[in-house]
Structure 1
Amino acid sequence: MRARLRRFSLTKAVPLTISRGTSRGVERVLVEIEHDGTTGQGESGGFDTGHRRFSTDEVAAELDALLPRLERPDGLGRPHDPSERQALQPLLAGLSPPARCAIDLALHDWWGRRLGQPLWRLWGLNRQACAPTSVTLGLGTVEQVRARLVSWQEQLDARPRRVKLKLGSPDGADHDRALVQAVAAALAGFPGAELQVDANGGWDLPTAQSLIPWLAQQGVVLVEQPLPALKDPEADAAAFAALDLHCPIPLVADESCWDLQDLLRLAPHVDGVNIKLLKTGGLSEAWLMAQTARRLGLDLMLGCYSDSSLLNGAAAQLLPLVRWPDLDSHLNLVDDPFSGPERDGDLLTPSTRPGLGQPAVETAAADGAPDGPYPPGPPPC
């Protein structure tokens, strides 16, 4: 088994502002695992949830230390085999979630490519059961937010059926109210369109308790992560429990929910959780969380950070299980080197191609080739 690590950059067409700041672009890492003529790919990078932060340099350093171990024989002198993911788990257990994500995705991609099937088909999912994705409106002035909604409509060549509005403005609750009223008025001309809001932990408890009933009156269909995520799991769950009593619309946890343990901790107090592969450490944990959430009657959101089409294509393998898809980051890139998932307006579906559904990136064959960004792929959607 051979393993390689490369870096590439992603630049947003429109910078995204949330309650914690503005993002214009990111640097990402690509892991490639090759065995018996088949190559699997996985993406990762740094991200910040307010209470936990990982830099791309830190993630790359973890992977640089791990990859040579994947190429060496195991303790019994046998070569590692990417088809035996269980045997590789001890090597991955100590990794941070984003570092583990890159390896986990590459192993899943290798498995699907080896079998010649996309993951959703290997899992027995119904590709026709996907719901439209939301598109994101970042914080800004009322005029900027209205203009972004218009640009999304032009890009999709269709009226968005689901819009996620970022709130938690540093300008205060009155500005949040003005944004909601402006977007709700604009969506009044879009029959059946849903308005979601995401505070990214930008409210305190009294603000959330006063705003959420008002949001319901404005026709908002869900509120995501109204309160800051807390490092103390019990205090974090208690904050959601206090808010749940005042929440007439679905309450969704994002920054507070990373893995199955968090899902079980929050399940009594929320209506849904937002699964993101960089938080879960890849598809292995995400699949387990999705199955458990459905058994517990929790709805799922499937989200992203500043992810390319490769990582969003990996997440899209779970779309048939998801009520609220939120995979729009790759649609806001000017230099995405990848091309999946498939899209018709605002409806994303997992690719029918093997593995994660992303054609293998051409890598330099000559030894000593530079590790620069990959050549650009098709123009962004």
Structure 2
Amino acid sequence: MQTNLRWIVLNKAVPLAISRGSTGSVRRLVLELEHEGLVGRGETGGFETGHRAYAAEAVAKELEAVLPRFSSAEGLALASELPAFQALEAWLAPLSPPARCAIDLALHDWWGQKLGQPLWRLWGLDRSACVPTSVTLGLATVEQVLARLEGWRERLGCWPSRVKLKLGSPDGPGHDRALVLAVGRRLREQAASQASELQVDANGGWDLATAQELIPWLADQGVVLVEQPLPAQLDPEADAASFEALDLSCPIPLVADESCWNLADLLRLAPHVDAVNIKLLKSGGLSEALLMARTARRLGLDLMLGCYSDSALLNGAAAQLLPLVRWPDLDSHLNLIDDPFEGPALHGDRVQPSTRSGLGVIERPDPSTACVPC
């Protein structure tokens, strides 16, 4: 088995600003596992959630330390049983979630290619069940946010069915209110031709008093959900208690993102939230994410499926789960000017997993041909 780890740079057409800062460009890692003439790929990189952070360089060092095992005698023995996820658990358990994610995705990609099927089909999912994705409006001035909304309409070729508005502005709740009013008014103007959901995501940018003040007002403005109103906390009990304090009086669905990383977090938060946002870099890949998605549905929790500054490779992997998801949020690859990969299918504002085998992602011969929003 041969391994290759390389860096790529992803540049956004429109930088994304949230309550914790702004991002215009990121360095990402692409892992390739080659065996029997097939190459499985996985993407990873650094990210932070306010209470946890992983640097891309540290993730690279983790992978560089473990990858030689795949070419060892032990690795060669396992190669005959690929993907052998159970046998690899001891290798992957010590790794950080983003490091595990790269290996997990590459193995899934190889496995699907070996069987000649996309993962969603191997999992028995219904591709036609995919629903429209939200498109993201980052923090900015009212005029800039409205221009960005128009840019999404031009990029998609249709008015978006779902809009996620970032709040938690450093300029305070007054600016948050102004953004909601302006975007809500613009969406209502289009309602005759296309009704749109307005979602808000504070990325942990409010304190409890601000959240308790704003959330009922957001409900009155027609907002359909609020995501991660309060900062995530390292102490699990304190983190759950913050959601419990809101859940008692929250008039719209409450979604956990930064607070929910794995199945244990999902079970911890299930009594206090209406949905969780699964992201592959948090979960450590598709193995944990699929388990979370199946469990959430059994518990009656709704699912959001999100992304960071991900290319079509990572979003193509996440898209395999879309038939299980009520609120997709896979739009980061649509905002890149140089995405080196081609992955999920896009029909208007509906993202669907590819029908190609494995993750369904291929490398572009010329990344400059990537579609970008206006």
TM-score by length of 2: 0.96
Quote the Cα distance in structure 1 between the aligned partners of 2:130 and 2:259: 25
One-letter identity of the residue aligned with 1:71: S
1:351 pairs with 354, 365, 371, which one? 354
Aligned to 2:144: 144
Quote the Cα distance in structure 2 between the aligned partners of 1:129 and 1:49: 30
Question: Which consecutive residues of structure 2, in runs of 5 or more, have no partner in the other structure?
Answer: none
Q: Residues 1-381 of structure 1 correspond to what in structure 2 (within 5 A)?
A: 1-74=1-74, 78-80=77-79, 81-191=81-191, 192-359=195-362, 376=367, 378-381=369-372
Query: What is the alpha-carbon root mean square deviation over aligned residues?
Result: 1.2
Quote the Cα distance in structure 2 between the aligned partners of 1:376 and 1:174: 41
Cα deviations by residue, 1:67-124 (Å, 9 ceiling, x for unpaired): 101110229x835443212111111110000000000000000000001100000000
Quote the Cα distance in structure 1 between the aligned partners of 2:352 and 2:89: 30
Quote the Cα distance in structure 1 between the aligned partners of 2:4 and 2:189: 50
User: 1:236, CA displacement in angstroms?
Assistant: 0.1
User: 1:359, CA displacement in angstroms?
Assistant: 2.1
Quote the Cα distance in structure 1 between the aligned partners of 2:144 and 2:227: 22
User: 1:360, CA displacement in angstroms?
Assistant: 5.3
One-letter identity of the residue aligned with 2:127: R
Quote the Cα distance in structure 2 between the aligned partners of 1:379 and 1:51: 34
Quote the Cα distance in structure 1 between the aligned partners of 2:364 and 2:250: 46
One-letter identity of the residue aligned with 2:337: V
One-letter identity of the residue aligned with 2:131: A
Cα deviations by residue, 1:333-381 (Å, 9 ceiling, x for unpaired): 001000110001100111000000012578xxxxxxxxxxxx5263225
Aligned to 1:366: none
Quote the Cα distance in structure 2 between the aligned partners of 1:196 and 1:185: 14
User: 1:224, CA displacement in angstroms?
Assistant: 0.1
Quote the Cα distance in structure 2 between the aligned partners of 1:27 and 1:315: 19
Quote the Cα distance in structure 1 between the aligned partners of 2:77 and 2:153: 54
Quote the Cα distance in structure 2 between the aligned partners of 1:182 and 1:360: 39
Quote the Cα distance in structure 1 between the aligned partners of 2:345 and 2:370: 14
One-letter identity of the residue aligned with 1:213: P
Moved more, 31-40 or 129-138: 31-40
Quote the Cα distance in structure 2 between the aligned partners of 1:102 and 1:28: 11
Cα deviations by residue, 1:288-310 (Å, 9 ceiling, x for unpaired): 00000000000000000000000
Quote the Cα distance in structure 2 between the aligned partners of 1:211 and 1:243: 11
Quote the Cα distance in structure 2 between the aligned partners of 1:379 and 1:279: 26
The answer on whether the counterparts of 1:302 and 1:322 sit within 8 Å (CA) in structure 2 is: yes
Cα deviations by residue, 1:149-178 (Å, 9 ceiling, x for unpaired): 011111111000000000000000011000
One-letter identity of the residue aligned with 1:135: V
User: 1:201, CA displacement in angstroms?
Assistant: 0.0
The answer on whether the counterparts of 1:339 and 1:378 sit within 8 Å (CA) in structure 2 is: no
Quote the Cα distance in structure 2 between the aligned partners of 1:289 and 1:137: 27
Quote the Cα distance in structure 2 between the aligned partners of 1:203 and 1:246: 16
Aligned to 1:369: none
Quote the Cα distance in structure 2 between the aligned partners of 1:220 and 1:310: 31
Corresponding residue SS for 1:220: coil
One-letter identity of the residue aligned with 2:26: V
Describe the shift of the 1:360–1:176 C-alpha distance in structure 2 as closer, same or farther (beyond 3 A).
Answer: closer
Corresponding residue SS for 1:78: helix
Quote the Cα distance in structure 1 between the aligned partners of 2:362 and 2:53: 31
The answer on whether the counterparts of 2:257 and 2:276 sit within 8 Å (CA) in structure 1 is: yes
Corresponding residue SS for 2:74: coil
User: 1:204, CA displacement in angstroms?
Assistant: 0.2
Quote the Cα distance in structure 1 between the aligned partners of 2:362 and 2:338: 17
User: 1:52, CA displacement in angstroms?
Assistant: 0.4
Corresponding residue SS for 2:266: helix
Describe the shift of the 1:6–1:361 C-alpha distance in structure 2 as closer, same or farther (beyond 3 A).
Answer: farther
The answer on whether the counterparts of 2:342 and 2:364 sit within 8 Å (CA) in structure 1 is: no
Describe the shift of the 1:361–1:103 C-alpha distance in structure 2 as closer, same or farther (beyond 3 A).
Answer: farther
One-letter identity of the residue aligned with 2:217: W
Quote the Cα distance in structure 1 between the aligned partners of 2:263 and 2:368: 35
One-letter identity of the residue aligned with 1:3: T
Describe the shift of the 1:79–1:224 C-alpha distance in structure 2 as closer, same or farther (beyond 3 A).
Answer: closer
